[in-house]
Structure 1
Amino acid sequence: MRVLVLGAGYAGVTLARDLERSLPDSADLIVVNDAPTHLVQHEVHRAIRHPTIADAISLPLDDLFDRAEVVIDRVTGLDRDARRVHLADGDSLRYDYCAVCLGGETNYFGIPGVEEHALPLKRLADAAAIRERFFEACTHGGTVVIGGAGLSGVQIAGELAALRDEEDAATDIVVLEQLGTVAPAFAPAFQRAVRDELLDCGVEIRTETTVERATESTVETDTGDIDYDMLIWAGGIGGSEAMANERPPVRADLRLDARTFVVGDAARAVDADGEPVPASASAAIREAKVVAKNIADQVRYAQHDEHGDFPPRPDPYRFDVPGWIVSIGDSAVAQVGPQIFRGSAAKAMKATVGAGYLTTVGAVSQAVTLVEEELHE
């Protein structure tokens, strides 16, 4: 019996570590990832201003797993009929059960010129490119335009505003959002607090503004053109190559079929209450725990070969997180239940959550480094 976990982001690492404990000893567990490290994605924006944080948020996969075999390669295709996963090096892997945890890629929505001229932020190399471009083009003035005011766009804007202030630069930072508010997927009180923090940082916010085209130096929108010196795109999440650049819809059991699950940002999930699940690290981690149990149950049933019994019914995933936290430069906004926190209280919560995650995967020294970076900026 062979179980594949595709991707080693939050969902993949959580799922594989749980499967290491719950799968029968006779089952093979393989993790496929395009890099030998696990990236703590929600801290990548920090590397724009503090490149040294890279060591704290990039964890070797060999240190995270005890039992799983790690294959370093890029997944290029998934053949569910043949139950095979195709890899960039030309090989393929057969599976009995598979969890697709490949995350999402930057979605440019086919807007002319955006993919060609904008910088994304998905990896450490992207953070380094943004930092380099800022020092090349923006420390003596100019304009940075950020497309998208979801949590990623908000964090990028806050980090660049803080970097601008550290460098005493006269740079304008403009966030564009097609919808009517920043952080549009979240509760109104959280949205208002995020907006206030951005404004306090000196970030200009333009909501209800649709990007229609980008050239080498201008963003064309339905409310007017904006000349820029650096364009960053955080406008949406697209699917991976292996999923035909789509994020397939899945129900609360998170299954594409009886043998194939999709977890985290790789899918558009609806939970047990029929509610859409927002793309977030906390949701991905909780989804992964449900899927790990369901796969382990299915494998144990198959190995017992008790054909007279009904197979175990998969547990559904129900979206339930205690709150939300977003960094904005040297500050943060947190929501816990109905309460909103800003400033030092929210920043302390952010440090605690980040360190707590690193501790759960055994990266204690990196957790200490992350807390120091968060609280002593």
Structure 2
Amino acid sequence: MATNPTEKPRHRIVVVGAGFAGVQLIHKLQHPDVSITLVDRRNHHLFQPLLYQVATTVLATSEIAWPIRHLFRDRPEVETLLGEVIGVDRDKRTVQLDDGPSLPYDTLVLATGSRHAYFGKDQWEPYAPGLKTLEDATTIRRRMLLAFERAEMEPDPTIRDALLTFAIVGAGPTGVELAGTIAELARHTLPPEFRRIDTRKARILLIEAGPRVLPAFSEPLSAYAQAALERVGVEVRLGHPVTDCGPNSIRIGDTDIACRMIIWAAGVQASPAAEWLGAEADRAGRVAVRPDLTLEGDENIFVIGDTARVQQPNGDPVPGLAPAAKQQGAYVARVIRHRLEGRPPVAPFHYRHQGNLATIGRRAAIIEYGNFRMKGGLAWWIWGLAHIYFLIGTRSRFAVAWSWLWIYLSGLQSARLITQREQHRR
């Protein structure tokens, strides 16, 4: 089809990353004068707050992830590319892909997220996988289920005890949620299914270098969460950092504990976006941005989500939460619309905190919003409704709601398929 030579060229926007920030930006930026290219290393958008439920056999992968192309199938101005960005040429205004042509842009939005960080001990990663992607979740699920299977056949009680020891490093929301769910799996779901071992004797360790679990919550709710974890059999270790991780053990301070399953939930590191831009980054790799979320010295580049260090008026950084990323995506969409339409600049970004939520197993949760606090079973139902509301599509909402209701009533978790074997180690 021939192009009208008098037609005004569209403003080219390249968005790198299909997480909460990038997807929200595109949803909010529907404008006749733009063309949008979305690039991601994976072909799906992931609802990361429920990723731990895939890792612990509660949900299937398809219930918390959706093909990116499907999300924007009705948006002809949006092009989706599966590829990995390796650099940005700010002078030429292009984005370099590892396997494909460079992408020219008029406006670039980097929303590339973060991954788990080992505080300089990257050699621990093979033994202590983190939880940021579907691949991470299925790896953890496979290793956890294989640990029970191998323990069932292990004649040596010392090795059997090590196989039934599960260590979670980091007592933030992910660590607490993992520990509680694994404990309930071992205590309630699996016992009738094994004949040689008593899965209720599994040892679940939650290890935190700080003085309490869930430090983002108030002390009373943190204490409640710890007590709830201990009631379901989780052993909480506070005030002692992990000093080593290996294939057969974990070291806490100076104490070695035989352990074949370690999950890392202790820290995050931003993507290499700062390196692509030649920009300064903080210790977590986040790029400092201006109040309108643009890169210092380049108003054509926005950095949002976990990739950016956004300063609040009180000096604290905006937390790396899904609501914060979505707010930033919507804000940048508004900034771009104002620019295209010649309207006055938008006021600086202002983060609206929507509260903290965390669940402890299938019957208890905690909620904190300003001075409002709630804990227990009712909080669990509110936590569930809040998460279902933000899922994409009626089918996903129905599937997750049904899975949770079934587990709540029966205590049975059905997503327990081992789809890939790993080499057995003794």
TM-score (norm 2): 0.79
Bigger Cα displacement from structure 2, 37-46 vs 129-138: 129-138
Q: Is the 8 A contact 1:290 1:315 kept in 2?
A: no
Displacement after TM superposition at 1:272 (Å):
4.1
Q: Paired residue for 2:285?
A: 246
Out of 295, 299, 302, the residue aligned to residue 261 of structure 1 is 302
Q: Paired residue for 2:353?
A: 321
Q: Is residue 228 of structure 1 aligned with residue 290 of structure 2? A: no
Aligned residues: 362
Displacement after TM superposition at 1:273 (Å):
4.3
Displacement after TM superposition at 1:112 (Å):
6.1
Q: Is the 8 A contact 1:193 1:340 kept in 2?
A: no
Q: Paired residue for 1:167?
A: 190
Q: Paired residue for 2:94?
A: 84
Q: Is the 8 A contact 2:59 2:400 kept in 1?
A: no
- Unaligned stretches of 5+ residues in structure 2: 1-10, 152-160, 192-198, 276-283, 408-426
Question: What secondary structure sits across from 2:60 in the alignment?
Answer: helix
Question: In the TM superposition, what whole-angstrom CA distance separates every residue of 1:127-176 from its partner, at most 9, and x where no partner exists?
Answer: 22212212222464431111111112122212211221221312111111
Q: Paired residue for 1:305?
A: none
Q: Paired residue for 2:54?
A: 47
> 1: distance between equivalents of 2:401 and 2:88?
39
Displacement after TM superposition at 1:322 (Å):
2.9
Bigger Cα displacement from structure 2, 3-12 vs 78-87: 78-87
Question: In the TM superposition, what whole-angstrom CA distance separates every residue of 1:39-59 from its partner, at most 9, and x where no partner exists?
Answer: 111111111233653222111
The structure-2 alpha-carbon separation of the partners of 1:368 and 1:337, relative to structure 1 and needing over 3 Å to count, comes to farther
> 1: distance between equivalents of 2:95 and 2:20?
20
Q: Paired residue for 1:338?
A: 371
Bigger Cα displacement from structure 2, 133-142 vs 319-328: 133-142
Question: In the TM superposition, what whole-angstrom CA distance separates every residue of 1:66-103 from its partner, at most 9, and x where no partner exists?
Answer: 32211111222233343222212142211111221111
Root mean square deviation, CA, Å: 2.1
Out of 378, 386, 399, the residue aligned to residue 353 of structure 1 is 386
The structure-2 alpha-carbon separation of the partners of 1:219 and 1:371, relative to structure 1 and needing over 3 Å to count, comes to same
Question: Which residue identity is paired with 1:368?
Answer: F
Displacement after TM superposition at 1:366 (Å):
0.8
The structure-2 alpha-carbon separation of the partners of 1:252 and 1:223, relative to structure 1 and needing over 3 Å to count, comes to farther
Out of 17, 41, 66, the residue aligned to residue 7 of structure 1 is 17
> 1: distance between equivalents of 2:89 and 2:217?
36
User: Identity rate of aligned residues, in percent?
Assistant: 32
Displacement after TM superposition at 1:279 (Å):
1.1
The structure-2 alpha-carbon separation of the partners of 1:220 and 1:50, relative to structure 1 and needing over 3 Å to count, comes to closer
- 5 Å-filtered alignment, 1:146-157, equals 146-157=168-179
Q: Paired residue for 2:405?
A: 375
Out of 136, 140, 146, the residue aligned to residue 136 of structure 1 is 146
Specify the structure having the higher radius of gyration (Cα).
2
Q: Is the 8 A contact 1:347 1:375 kept in 2?
A: no
Question: Which residue identity is paired with 2:303?
Answer: V
Question: Which residue identity is paired with 1:37?
Answer: H
TM-score (norm 1): 0.89
> 1: distance between equivalents of 2:226 and 2:310?
28
Q: Is residue 219 of structure 1 aligned with residue 250 of structure 2? A: yes
The structure-2 alpha-carbon separation of the partners of 1:85 and 1:186, relative to structure 1 and needing over 3 Å to count, comes to farther
Q: Is residue 365 of structure 1 aligned with residue 365 of structure 2? A: no
